[in-house]
Amino acid sequence: MIARGAGPFVFAPLLGMLPLAALALILEDPRWSYPSIPLGIAFLFSLVFFRDPYREKGPGIVSPADGRILAADPDRGKLVVFMGIFNVHVNRAPLDGRVASVVHTAGGHAPAYSEDAGANERVETVLETQFGLVRMTQVAGVFARRIVPYVRRGDAVRKGQRIGMIRFGSRVELILPRGVRLSVRVGDKVRAGESTIAEVLDGPRP
């Protein structure tokens, strides 16, 4: 399955290949097909990069992104997941809840793994859950020039549901409510919607 919002990136190289292949056949000259080789490589890369596989929901609070844990602060309940170029870039809800807000903030495009990424372009989605507010921030990286939200204010979401995508290398920051215990450490690899990143210690809050 191809990620929602990625169609132009995936199919543009394929559409560019078609007239070249047609000319090679019509003119019976294979040299017309040579320029289609880099387009074919771009198509295959985009097809892999923008994949959106099915995931089984994991227990507890699940990771919002594929990648590697870049920071884990148990005192603040904050996690940062860095998504490398070979990770799936579709992000998922860590818990059931309702979207309280979706806010886009313009900014720079520093490397997503650097400290300067705190000033990058971002989209913050706040979820109202039975355990309190969950703040999930999708942060653009060097090559990521657009964050594509799939939800808006007032939407009900389920744990593991797709809620957005960041095009190309990037990171996701998560701030969890009090009363949860992180179950991952810096360097751990996680999968969106599937890997448990935290456990709830307290019951639901009113």
Catalytic residues: 170
Could you identify the residue written with the tokens 């995936």? 10
The torsion angles phi and psi of 194, rounded to 5 degrees, stand at -120, -45
Beta-bridged to residue 182, according to DSSP, are 198
CB atoms within 10 A of CB 61: 27
Name which of 55, 67, 89 is nearest 189 in CA terms. 67
Assigned token pair, 41: 């490589």
Q: Which two tokens stand for residue 139?
A: 């942060």
Q: Say if residues 63 and 190 touch (Cβ distance below 8 Å).
A: yes
